[in-house]
Structure 1
Amino acid sequence: MQYQNLLVETDSKVSLITINRPSKLNALNSATIEELHQVFKVLEEDGDTKVIVLTGSGEKAFVAGADISEFSNFSQEEGERLALEGQRKLFDFVENLSKPVIAAVNGFALGGGLELAMSCHFRVASHNARMGLPEVSLGVIPGYGGTQRLPQLIGRGRAMEMILTAGMIDAARALEYGLVNQVVEQEHLLDLCEKLASRISKNSPVAIGYAIKAVNAGFNNSINGFKTEIEAFGSCFGTADFKEGTEAFLEKRKADFPGA
């Protein structure tokens, strides 16, 4: 499938999605959000893909925000629909994928860009990364899950400070806050993400999907996370992956998971 704003390549069970709008610092417009929805949907069903890495083209930005020109004249109803559809198509969709998504944050991740990185299952940043939610400086608030995911990741007080000041933090501060897992030189960013993805891809894809579901349930007030974990744990026992994993352990060999 051809994409106007994305580059997609798959190698050794790892798919790399690159948001490719360098002249706009990879800003999210409606077309890019739609394409991202479609590619994540395709890769979720792709048997050759076990892990997804998401990054931005160039050396300046992961995603520098949303394309403000698209919604500067929106009404209240249109603004609410923009947030609702964006969360449904992309941000919530990514968070709930059964395949892990790693954000390789290379440069600016601002506004919708940081919200997209936070919807991924974890984040690795380059030393030149800068992150923030500047929406209140434009007279609006984060609308793609930023007010919810940022406090979950770094705590309420720090999130309030970042959101209310509209300021940016650097990669070192993001690492200190727990917003990113690791920080590396930009030239090593994709290598590290691909190594992490390769390690993940050797594990049971069925168990990984259940693990993502159980962890996410713990942050959903309408769901009992412990109950979800218990049910998912039990479900694992009925899978071919569990049979292969336990047999391989007892036979002192590496598991070859069928993914079922």
Structure 2
Amino acid sequence: MDYMVELDKESGILLFTITREERRNAINYNVMNGLREALDRALNEDVRILAITGKGDKAFCSGGDLSTFQSLQTEQEAYTMLSKMGEFLYELAVFPKPTVALINGTAVGGGCELAAACDYRIARTGAKIGFIQGGLAITTGWGGGTLLFERIEARLAFKMLSEAAVFRAEQLDDFGFIDRLHDRVGMEEARAFFTNEQSIDSHVLRAYKQMMIRKWQAGDLKSRMEKEIRACSVLWGKEAHHQAVAAFLSKNK
């Protein structure tokens, strides 16, 4: 099993943990299916909040597992994978309850897209975070770029995406991407972050979330994410991407 789904009954926080620590919690198809399971379970009445993290203290999520996805060569092959995860990230973004990414370590590439789909991001001080997809000759491909433009100022989102650079969590706190910094990040910090919400009727929280969802629906968020996924699929099928992936895998053997 590449993931765990656990409910903290006292707080009502359902924690989805990617448990591929040896792969820096990279996302494969099993993890995608685990996210589907977590989203379904989080709809239960006993769940107030959905939290997402990675096992250990090295990485929150290093994005898509290139050793798994390097076999995807064509635009259509890429689109099949990208659209599957993109659908899950859209569901996470418009999930009717509060969501939070517990960034306990490095979050890069698709890991940043996963974090961007959550309502909030709590990060460990010094954590390295970046949308590095440009270095692999592709764009964000799960809808995370579109979501980033919804989370922070457009000029800052554009800077993060186009540089394909890795930032420290403290810098992204200034950008507005990070909502809280801690020396360590886990369930304790999640409980503390949502202390006030614990006293609010869950139906009230859902009603407020619906206000944001309606804004996104009016702005055609899903269609814009789909166009992002399509654009990435085209780039994925090009030789420049395949060469960049081969060079990356060779360097990290």
TM-score range, shorter chain: 0.7 to 0.9
Q: Which moved more, 1:151-160 or 1:63-72?
A: 151-160
Structure with larger Rg:
1
Which position in structure 2 is the counterpart of 1:205? 202
Offset of residue 10 of structure 1: 2.3
Q: Which amino acid aligns with 1:132?
A: G
SS of aligned partner of 1:8 = strand
Which position in structure 1 is the counterpart of 2:230? none
Which position in structure 2 is the counterpart of 1:227? none
Q: Under a length normalisation based on structure 1, what TM-score does the superposition of the two structures give? A: 0.78
Indicate the structure whose relative CO is greater, using CA pairs within 8 Å and at least 6 residues apart.
Answer: 2
Note if 1:95 corresponds to 2:93: yes
In the TM superposition, what are the counterparts of 1:1-260 in structure 2 within 5 Å?
A: 3-12=1-10, 13-44=12-43, 46-74=44-72, 75-88=74-87, 90-186=88-184, 189-222=186-219
Could you report, residue by residue, the CA deviation over 1:151-197 in whole angstroms, capped at 9, with x for unpaired residues? Answer: 222222222222222101111111100001111111x5532211223
Q: Which moved more, 1:146-155 or 1:61-70?
A: 146-155
Distance 1:197 1:55, change over 3 A: same
SS of aligned partner of 2:113 = helix
Q: Under a length normalisation based on structure 2, what TM-score does the superposition of the two structures give? A: 0.80
Q: Is contact 2:100–2:118 with CA below 8 Å preserved after alignment?
A: yes
Structure 1, unpaired ranges of 5+: 224-260
Q: Which amino acid aligns with 1:212?
A: K
What RMSD, in angstroms, separates the aligned Cα atoms of the two structures? 1.7
Q: Which portions of structure 1, spanning 4 or more consecutive aligned residues, are displaced by more than 3 angstroms? A: 219-223
Distance 1:23 1:4 in 2: 11
Q: Is contact 1:7–1:19 with CA below 8 Å preserved after alignment?
A: no
Q: How many residues align?
A: 218
SS of aligned partner of 1:40 = helix
Structure 2, unpaired ranges of 5+: 221-253
Q: Which amino acid aligns with 1:82?
A: M
Could you report, residue by residue, the CA deviation over 1:128-160 in whole angstroms, capped at 9, with x for unpaired residues? Answer: 311111111111110111221112222222222
